[in-house]
Amino acid sequence: MRLDHHQPRWFLSLQRLAGWHQRSLAYLPRWRHPLVGYPVGLLLVGLSLAVSLVEARLLFPFSFPGLLLLFVVVLVALCWGVGAALFTTALSVLALDYLYVPPFGNLGSYGWNGLVQLVTFAAVGIVVAVLTQQHEIARIRALEARQEAVLQMRQLEATFEAISDGVVVYDRKGQVQQVNHATWSLFGITALPVQQQEREGHSLLLSATQHDEQGQPAPEKRQLLGRLFRGEHLTGAKAVDVLVQTPDGRAAIFNASGAPIRNASGKIEYAVLIYRDVTGRRRLERRTNDALRALLAVAQTLVQAPAQPHDTSGSTSTTLSEQIGQRFIELATQVVESQHATMLTVDPQEDRLSLVAATGFTPQQQQEWHERLASSPSLIDHIGNEQLVASLKRDEALLLDGMSLPLYTPVLPYYVQAVLVVPICVGDRLLGLLCLDDGSREHSYSSRDIVLAQTLARLTSLLLARIQLQQQNAEAHASEVALRETNRLMEAYPGIICHELKTPLTVIRGSLQLADRKVKRLMATELPEPGDLRHFASIQALLERARAQVAVQDRLINDLLDISRIQAQALTLLMARCNVADVVLEAVEDQRQVASEHTIHLELPAERDIIVLGDADRLAQVVTNFLINALKYSPPDRPITVCVRIEHEQARVLVRDEGPGLPPEEHERVWERFYRVPGISEQGGFGGGLGLGLYVCRTIIEQHGGRVGLQSMPGDGATFWFALPLAQQGDIGES
Annotate 347-400 with DSSP letters as a single string.
ETTTTEEEEEEEESS-HHHHHHHHHHHHH--BHHHHH-SHHHHHHHHTT--EEE
Can you give the pLDDT at residue 318?
43
Can you give the pLDDT at residue 79?
78
* CA distances (Å), origin 385, targets 19, 47, 380, 392, 419: 81, 108, 6, 11, 16
Residue whose C-alpha is closest to residue 571's, from 632, 626, 621, 609: 621
Can you give the pLDDT at residue 650?
92
Distance CA(83)–CA(190), nearest Å, equals 60
* CA distances (Å), origin 17, targets 13, 85, 292: 6, 18, 69
Helices (H) and strands (E) in the chain, counts: 17, 17
Distance CA(425)–CA(435), nearest Å, equals 14
- Contact assessment for residue 422 and residue 397, using Cβ atoms and an 8 Å cutoff: yes
Can you give the pLDDT at residue 564?
64
One-letter amino acid at 409 equals T
Report field, pTM of the whole predicted structure over 0.75? no
Q: Are strands 340-347 and 352-359 parallel, antiparallel or unpaired?
A: antiparallel
* CA distances (Å), origin 634, targets 54, 110, 549, 621, 727: 162, 157, 20, 20, 34
Q: How many CA atoms lie within 13 A of 415 on its CB side?
A: 13
Distance CA(577)–CA(231), nearest Å, equals 102
Domains of the chain: 23-143 (no CATH), 163-277 (3.30.450.20), 286-308+316-475 (3.30.450.40), 572-725 (3.30.565.10)
Can you give the pLDDT at residue 556?
62
Can you give the pLDDT at residue 526?
59
Distance CA(594)–CA(624), nearest Å, equals 11
Residues of the chain under the 70 pLDDT cut: 1-29, 55-65, 97-114, 117, 136, 291-292, 294-295, 297-323, 413-414, 441, 467-468, 482-513, 515-516, 519-570, 679, 681-690, 730-735
DSSP 41-82: HHHHHHHHHHHHHHIIIII---S-THHHHHHHHHHHHHHHHH
Can you give the pLDDT at residue 113?
63
Residues linked to residue 340 through DSSP beta bridges, in sequence order: 437
On average, the pLDDT of the chain sits at 77
